[in-house]
Amino acid sequence: MMKRTLLCALLLAVTTAIPAGAANVVKTYSYFSIGGSTLEDIEKQLSKHGPQVKSTGSRHPGATQMAFTTRISYARQAGSCRIADAVVTLKVKVILPEWRRPRNADADVKLFWDTLAADIKRHEERHVEIAKNHARELEDALKATYPRKDCDAAKAKAAEITAAVLARHDRAQVQFDRVESVNFESRILRLMRYRIERIQNGQLPPA
């Protein structure tokens, strides 16, 4: 899941800068700890300690928070004004769970957790990719605008473009979550079978 505002009480944060074509991307990871020795325990821990997403009002196993910042410069000419340059910066914070495995946790619980944790990370990373694509789209669209009669008109056009691209971004994120939710159970079962095969083939260590 995603939202644009910052959550509090994050236990760990590591920031890295990531090249993203035209747009600037700053990516931050943070983690929250959970316990539990059974699948039911883990589910309850995720529901209790997972990040609360404002758009849904509930807690989730992971979250991606993002903010788009646009810096635009204008150039006045005789009878017109144009966008001289536009730089879009995307700040992303990915929040992921970290399981403190109890000694009495069975191997099959660890297998499930490893599968689930990998899928949660993949899911949130895809949210980041969607945001990066729209940040690049926004920057390109701003740079491609035609001159306007004055800078007020140029600024109004920039605001219109920004609103349209961010609206498409939000719809893309919601659609992605909708598809992922429908396919969750079948996806996890498929990933678990694949992980078991890799363990049996010696490509992964036993759970």
**CA-based torsion, 10, 15, 20, 25: positive or negative:** positive
The predicted model scores a pTM of 0.79
Residue 87, strand partner residues = 71
178 CA to centre of own chain: 15
CA distance 62 to 121: 8
pLDDT at 58 over 50: yes
pLDDT at 145 over 80: yes
SS3 of the chain: the string is CEECCCCCCCCCEEEEEEEECCEEEEEEEEEEEECCCCHHHHHHHHHHHCCEECCCCEECCCEEEEEEEEEEEEEEECCEEEEEEEEEEEEEEEEEEEECCCCCCCHHHHHHHHHHHHHHHHHHHHHHHHHHHHHHHHHHHHHCCCCECCHHHHHHHHHHHHHHHHHHHHHHHHHHHHHHHHCHHHHHHHHHHHHHHHHHCCCCCCC
| Cβ–Cβ under 8 Å, residues 94 and 42 | no
Q: What is the pLDDT of residue 1?
A: 44
Share of the chain above pLDDT 70, in %: 86
Of how many residues is the chain composed? Answer: 207
pLDDT at 16 over 50: no
Q: What is the pLDDT of residue 12?
A: 28
| Cβ–Cβ under 8 Å, residues 86 and 72 | yes
Please provide the average confidence, as pLDDT, over all residues in the chain: 84
Domain-wise residue ranges, the chain: 2-200
pLDDT at 114 over 70: yes
pLDDT at 194 over 50: yes
